[in-house]
Chain A
């Protein structure tokens, strides 16, 4: 077997999808006009699959901060902070994150993916145990592999199973790092964090919460699920990303433990990569300030989420259990999901097509991510388009009938 033969099954699966005449693999947004509008296949399109929860990508203050940083600090840092040194803006952003979370030690990474790789691989090494939710994001799985710790998985959001796994570890539970997510990216459900913190404390384990999709979304101040569940004191470390509610790129880890600072000397994804470029750091810092000063954005986001959830539910879609900015419509088959995704695109609506094996429980999903920037008119158009594709497919697919 040659090195490349292993790609044949992927090629086959890809061709199977392309036979339908639909190509979801090479979608290009030809023009981006705002946080919620672009042009795809020459057609004006409402974007409902961007994770741009607060709609800050086109905020004039963020753009201005980015432009000024470009002019004064250049286009890039051309190396890692360990080798080339930090720009003061990197440290400023870390102080801003510490202030926001009320935790004394923050580290900025170049992407959210690297934040998980960097934090998890540094915290848990050989001899330690990582205990992760079964529906964890790929960056959590990859971070686990990088560190060389033993990796165990508990059933998604199942605190009884988590408890069982900690009990089986015996004394090793004290050298165990539990990792959960504030909002799970596919179905938009939340971790039962209060119960998880209680179990973690019972066994003396350590807890990391990935707030990638919940930063700016949950909690009175927007600090995420830990704030909303009122368990911030029980969380050892939070990781997150700037690429969703803060509208840029990059990631961070922030912790109550002073030793967290030493990750800078051991974390390969921190040491061996170029640091975030100045314009990104500058726009992120301003976005964080805007997020803190404008709770109305979060309120608008939730109003929009409720509107879209209610609208889709009324049509007859089966949705993820919780109302939230991630709204996943579960479609009975992959073929139907493909056809509906294409149908939506032809009506000028872009959502995320999620099909197995990238989805939990082998579901096929049309995943929407709502933004505070979606207007009532846009939401109405989105719901109407979902209604249209639902009606057109229902004739051919009795299982869609509700």
Chain B
């Protein structure tokens, strides 16, 4: 089972193409206000991450995901489930 520490670098790599505004996404980077993702891009990136980690992210959990760290922790939880 992947740990958060293993998930994070892979997640950052996936987010990089979307991070033109900040260059290199960090754990504290806010996915919407700092990466500047609109709702369509959020959906695209989530679908990519779902396939990458073979998980499905419930829409119910999205309001609690603001930063790269939040997203990494969510992935870790879903992989554990």
Give 1 or 0 for each of A96-123: 1 = CB within 8 Å of chain B CB. 0000000000000000000000000000
Interchain CA distance A189-B43 in the complex, whole Å: 20
Residue of B38, B43, B54, B59 near A168 (CB, 8 A) is B54
Which residues on the B side are within 8 Å of A169 (C-beta)?
A: 56
Chain A residues whose C-beta falls within 8 Å of the C-beta of B54 in the assembled complex: 168
Q: Mark B50-68, 1 if CB is under 8 A from A, else 0.
A: 0100111111100000000
Interface size, chain A (Cβ < 8 Å): 16
Instruction: Determine if A155 and B47 form an interchain contact, defined as CB atoms under 8 angstroms apart.
Output: yes
Interface bracket on B? 10 to 19
On whether the beta carbons of A150 and B43 are closer than 8 Å, the reply is no
- How distant is B65 from chain A, measured CB to nearest CB, in Å? 14
Q: Are B58 and A357 in contact (CB under 8 A)?
A: no
A306: shortest Cβ distance to chain B, in Å? 31
Contacts of A151 in B (CB 8 A): 58-60
**Which residue of the partner chain B has the closest CB to A131?**
B56
Q: Nearest B residue to A148 by beta-carbon distance?
A: B60
Q: What's the least CB distance linking B70 to chain A, in Å?
A: 18
Docked CA distance A362–B42 (Å): 12
How long is the Cα–Cα vector from A357 to B58 in the complex, in angstroms? 21
- Chain A contacts with B in 151-173, Cβ cutoff 8 A: 151-153, 155, 161, 164-165, 168-169
Q: A361 with B40: in contact, given A155-B47, A168-B54 (CB under 8 Å)?
A: yes
Which A residues are in CB contact (< 8 Å) with B38? 356-357, 362
Q: Sorted from nearest, which 4 A-B pairs have the closest CB atoms?
A: A151-B59, A150-B58, A152-B56, A362-B40
**Which positions in A face B, CB cutoff 8 Å?**
134, 144, 150-153, 155, 161, 164-165, 168-169, 356-357, 361-362
Q: Which B residues are closer than 8 A to A by beta carbons?
A: 38-40, 43, 47, 51, 54-60
Taking A168-B54, A356-B40 as given, write out 7 further A-B residue pairs in contact, using a Cβ cutoff of 8 Å, ordered by the A residue number: A150-B60, A151-B59, A164-B51, A168-B55, A356-B38, A357-B39, A362-B38
